[in-house]
Amino acid sequence: MVAHVASLAHLTGPSSGTTSWLGETSLNVSLDPNCKVHIEAPDENVRGADLAACLNRIHDGFVINAPEDVSIWVNGESIKSKHLQHMDIIEFGEEGPMSRYRLQAEGGLTPQSTVGILRDAGAYFRTSRQPLGRRIRNIVLQIFRRLAVETTMLFRASVVIALVALTALAYQQVRLSGLLQQQLISGRAQLEDFSRTLARSRKEALTPGDLTSLREELDQRIVTASDRLSKLEHLSTATQRIIAESAPSVLFLQGSYGFKDESSGRMMHMMVNSAGQPMQFPNGLPMLSPDGKGPVAERQFVGSGFLVGDKGYLVTNRHVALPWELDGNTKLLALRGFVPVLTKLVAHRPGSTEGEEVVFVEASNETDLALLKYVDPKERPEGLKVAKKAPPLGDEITVMGYPTGLRALIAQAGTSFIEALQSEGDTEFWSVAARLAKSGFIYPLASRGIVGRSTLERVVYDAETTHGGSGGPVLNSNGEVIAVNTAIIPEFGGSNLGVPAQKVIEFLTASEIETF
């Protein structure tokens, strides 16, 4: 009986062009935040990666199983469990990478043939659920890259020789065409000059009917030009107007959280020695314990949000309001009886000289949305309006928020502010933000872009932003929120994902909050 070796050839994503050999009986397939594929034994854990599939060997092949709440497609069909066959195409998740499952006779591993590479490209085109334009682009890149890397040296050398020959032939053809063209030009020059003179004379000869037509055409052009000018004036001032009107409602969120022992109710503290100095392990990490005498061990975070309605409610991302859900240590601490606790959450509003405390209200279980509320019910600027229609493709948008958090705000504050911080040695997380607010330097950044895709689940746009900008509003030319900024896609030229306005309306309606 011939033994077979199983492998996954990765067709798309950061792992594209590589092959993972399946040598263990049981394997876990996980994806890191950049969608890079990691295949490890079940007892191994890739930090920050999410489980995407489980592989279990049966005879010479493998069975793939989808974890709970995780989607897997095999040959374009959504599955929960499937015995894989040679050349099956696997897609991990809604936006995840695609891989081809192969079974090869042991000892028969050879470079890929051109037919095999084209067959893989055809299978990807048939099974991928990506838009047609993206599929075509990925196929072209995949074919050229694999032909350059995975084929034999003889094939690559043959391609280079053929390209050199074609280049030489094209050069000769261009030279011959140039000589012929010069001969044609010299022979037709006088005839063309006469033809142009005759045509110009006929056009310049006007009739009474021509005058009437010209007048009607001129009137129409004036109307059209006036309309275009009005639209251009609106667009040229739209961004400036949107920023000025919306900025007071776009907030800088600053928070911290720790972990509490469920049995004792005590927070995790830093351990200190008799002199009050923090105690550390040999590797430099601080010692923590619920019985520690030092300050509470807190993790700090920043994000963006915006006001809605007139009752002091704020909308942001779920991953901003509940940051511990992305903390890889949360599950480990939960096994030891510790639960995450939000210790402090402050919203800084442009124009206000101090931050104001906000509290978590609720988060959506379906989309990356969360609702916060001011503790103090005093009056504040009116919240932003939420659009009721999806944005058209190509529509211009403005993204507002606080990307890179405190760093960007300090940079905007200028050299004198930074020198003051340096001279005083004050870099504490909360006090720096308080000084920025008191000095009037809390103001959101804005970037422009266009809508590249809009569905019921997400809006894709190309405005510049980064971490810290999550939770900020994406505004149309009327200043209405068409999405909530939630993620960036660096491998697609800086494109971003936003939660559509329709999802925001559904979330707020379910919360019985009238904010739009």
CATH fold of the domain at 242-510: Thrombin, subunit H (2.40.10)
Continuous segment of H or E residues that includes residue 118: helix 114-127
Give the range among 48-62, 210-224, 234-248, 280-294 with minimum mean pLDDT: 210-224
pLDDT at 199: 42
Using the predicted structure, report yes or no on whether residue 193 has a pLDDT greater than 60.
no
| Overall average pLDDT of the 43-49 stretch | 80
Residue whose entry in the numeric block shows the structure tokens 């998740």: 93
Q: How far apart are CA 133 and CA 137, in angstroms?
A: 6
DSSP 80: S
Q: How far apart are CA 235 and CA 80, in angstroms?
A: 49
pLDDT at 171: 83
pLDDT band, residue 232 (cuts 50/70/90): very low
| Overall average pLDDT of the 140-149 stretch | 63
Q: For the purposes of burial, counting CB atoms within 10 Å of the CB of 379, is it exposed (0-12), middle (13-18) or buried (19 or more)? A: exposed
Q: Which of 499 and 376 is assigned the larger pLDDT? A: 499
Neighbours of 125 (CB within 10 A): 14
Closest CA to 58 of 77, 85, 40, 38: 85
pLDDT at 200: 43
Give the range among 198-207, 265-274, 366-375, 441-450 with minimum mean pLDDT: 198-207
Q: Which two tokens stand for residue 367?
A: 């989309």
Sign of CA dihedral 322, 328, 331, 337: negative
Continuous segment of H or E residues that includes residue 436: helix 429-438
Identify the top-confidence range among 263-267, 345-349, 466-470. Answer: 345-349
**Three-class SS of 458-516:** CEEECCCCCCCCCCCEEECCCCCEEEEEEEEEHHHCCEEEEEEHHHHHHHHHHCCCCCC
Using the predicted structure, report yes or no on whether residue 401 has a pLDDT greater than 50.
yes
pLDDT at 256: 94
| Overall average pLDDT of the 447-455 stretch | 89
- What is the per-residue DSSP string for 132-153? HHHHHHHHHHHHHHHHHHTS-H
The CA distances from residue 456 to 73, 188, 386, 498, in Å, are 21, 61, 15, 11
Q: Which of 315 and 411 is assigned the larger pLDDT? A: 315
Domains in the chain: boundaries:
4-151, 161-200, 242-510
Q: Which two tokens stand for residue 230?
A: 């009005």
pLDDT band, residue 494 (cuts 50/70/90): low
Dmax (CA) for the chain in angstroms is 106
**Three-class SS of 406-427:** HHHHHHHHCHHHHHHHHHHCCC
177 in Cβ contact with 171 (< 8 Å): no
CATH 2.60.200.20 assigned to 4-151: yes
Mean pLDDT estimate for the chain: 81
This prediction has a pTM of 0.54
Q: Which two tokens stand for residue 16?
A: 């594209």
pLDDT at 462: 85
Task: State whether residue 82 is helix, strand or coil.
Answer: strand
pLDDT band, residue 288 (cuts 50/70/90): confident
Q: For the purposes of burial, counting CB atoms within 10 Å of the CB of 77, is it exposed (0-12), middle (13-18) or buried (19 or more)? A: exposed
Query: Percent of the chain scored above 90 by pLDDT?
Result: 34
Give the range among 73-87, 113-127, 340-354, 414-428 with minimum mean pLDDT: 113-127
20 in Cβ contact with 103 (< 8 Å): no
